[in-house]
Every structure is written in structure tokens, then in C-alpha cells.
Amino acid sequence: MADAKVFSSNQILVSGALPNDVGAIRLVRTADADIPLAVTSVKQGEQPNSFLVTTAETLSRQDHYMLTAGGANQYWEISPSPLALLFSVIIGSALINNFVFTRYLGLCVFFGVSRNKDTAIGMGITFTIVGLLSGMIAWTLNTYALVPLKLEFMQIIAFIGIVACLVQATDLVLKKVNPLLHKKFGIYLVLITTNCIILAVPLLNATSGASFLEALGLSFGSGAGFAIALFLMSCAIEKVNMAPVPVIFRGLPIAFIIAGLFALSFLGFSGLKVA
């Protein structure tokens, strides 16, 4: 087995001997190994003993592929590098698919807490930490207990239980370690239980069958994305509070319009490709 990686959106760079015959090469996604991707050409690469395989389909750097040539004798597995994967998942969930602005999760806490910059920062940090912890615990429980025991139907109950326990535990620890901080964030800590993001992350991980790294990235990225959204929103709200807003728009309606504008600008991130 030799080295191979996704070179561009429709090319794979393979090092090693490869027959110069399109028909002898079979390229599949590891997830659906029965469906071959059409290979259009094989070219000698710039380096000696390397080949560029071009396909008709679009390849993703985050996906896993398998390339076989000359029967099953020669094969290359193409998987993303762990760091790149982690990075791309974090950027993806924090910016490109920001949980607040494109998936509309955690809106209630979002609108409730974004009135003041300090609170927003505190809530953002608290949430990122709790979200990361609960995401990882839920992933471990799901992968090593629920799935092997075929208890997937218990996912909702198990995950909400984890979140509730973790929030309670964080509450206790914070109260002991830093009472001042607890006084300030205790109320938000309780609110985290009903924040959809914290429940959505384990559910998304479980549905997509995420690997450990993907789960880690999503848990952290979602929290970071929420913190970013919260901070941006609180900055805007502090300004709007001093502006003469029409009576019927005061309070939540204007907050929604602002969130809409943010969502619109976050659309710009959808052009962001993580290499």
C-alpha cells in the first residue's frame, strides 16, 4: 500500500506503480463501496512514479476513498489527515454552518443573553466548555454502549440525561471553585440544559456516525460558533438599545431582524473552502 491523496476537486494524486489504463482502475467512496466513481483519465504526475487520476465526480478532501488497480492486488486508501479533518470540522461548524445563523439552534438562549457584552462573553465561554464535555461524553456513551447494545432508540433520553447531569455537576464545581463567577453565570448554566445546540451536537454525531475527531471538532466548533454569534449580537444590541427603534419593533422583533442580517453576512462564509 502506497501513498495517495485528494489533489484537487476531481483529481487524486497516487504514488506508486499504476497501470496506464482507465478500465483497470476502480475508485470508490469507502462509505458506499459498491458504487464506483467514473475515472476519466490517468496521467503521469510531476514527480516520478506518481500518477494523477481524474474522475468525473467531485471529490471531497474530508471523505474517505479507496482506489484499486489490477484486481485487488494493489490498493490505496485515501483518508483525510487528522489535523486537517479536525480543523475543517471546526471551521465548518463555527463559521460556514454556524449553529445559530444557519441551523437556528440555541436561539432562545441566544436572544436572552445577548443584551450585554460581558454576559455574552461569559455565556459563550461557559457554553463552549460544557458543550465540549457533553459532546465527548455523549459520543463515548453512544459509541461504546448504545450502539453495541442496539439501544439507539434511547439516544434522546440518554443524551438529555448526560446534559442535565453535566450541567448540575458544573454548577456544583463552579460554586465551590469560583463563587463569584458562579453568581454571575449560575443562571445561564441552568439555561444551557434547554439550549438545543448542546443536545443537537450529540444527536448529529450519532446520526452521521462521526469518528472521535469529527465529534471533537463538532462539539468544539459548535460552542465556538455560538460564542462568536453571541458576542457579535451583543455588540449590535448594545448599539441598538440607544437607537430610536419604532415602538412595535422594540425588543425581540428588532433582535430578529439583526440576527437575520448577521445570517445574511454569514452566508459569505459558505464560499470558504477548507483545504
Partner 1 sequence: MSTYRPPPPISTMLMRGLFEENPVFRLALSLCPAVAVTTSLKNGLMLGVAVLIVQVLSSMSGSLVKHIINPKIRIPVFTIIIAIWVSAMDMILAAYYATVYQEVGLYVKLIVAFAIIISRMELFSMKHNVVPSFWDGLGMGLGFLAAMILAGSFRELLGSGSIFGIAVVPFKPLLLVVLPAGGFFTIGLIMAMFNWVDLKRGHKLPSTTSGCHG
Give the C-alpha separation, 115 to 69, whole Å. 60
Query: Hey, how many other C-beta atoms are within 10 angstroms of the C-beta on 50?
Result: 18
> Is 104 one of the binding residues for partner 1 (CB under 8 A)?
yes
- Work out which of 94, 109, 123, 166 binds partner 1, going by CB under 8 A: 109
> Do 187 and 67 meet the contact criterion of CB atoms below 8 Å apart?
no
**Residues in binding contact with partner 1, number by CB under 8 A:** 48
Q: Taking the complex as a whole, how short is the minimal distance between the CB of residue 262 and partner 1, in angstroms?
A: 8
> Do 211 and 219 meet the contact criterion of CB atoms below 8 Å apart?
no
Give the C-alpha separation, 65 to 85, whole Å. 14
- Work out which of 17, 56, 261, 272 binds partner 1, going by CB under 8 A: 261
Give the C-alpha separation, 14 to 4, whole Å. 4
Instruction: Look up cell 441552568; give the residue.
Output: 190
> Is 208 one of the binding residues for partner 1 (CB under 8 A)?
no
Please choose, out of 5-13, 61-69, 140-148, 264-272, the segment that lies near partner 1 by the rule CB under 8 A.
Answer: 264-272
| Residues between 114 and 133 that touch partner 1 (CB under 8 A) | 115
Q: Taking the complex as a whole, how short is the minimal distance between the CB of residue 164 and partner 1, in angstroms?
A: 6
Cα angle: 242, vertex 245, 246; to 5 degrees = 155
Kindly list the residues in this chain that would bind partner 1 in the complex (CB under 8 A).
Answer: 101-109, 111-112, 115, 153-157, 160-161, 164, 191, 193-196, 199-200, 203-204, 207, 247-257, 259-261, 263-264, 266-267
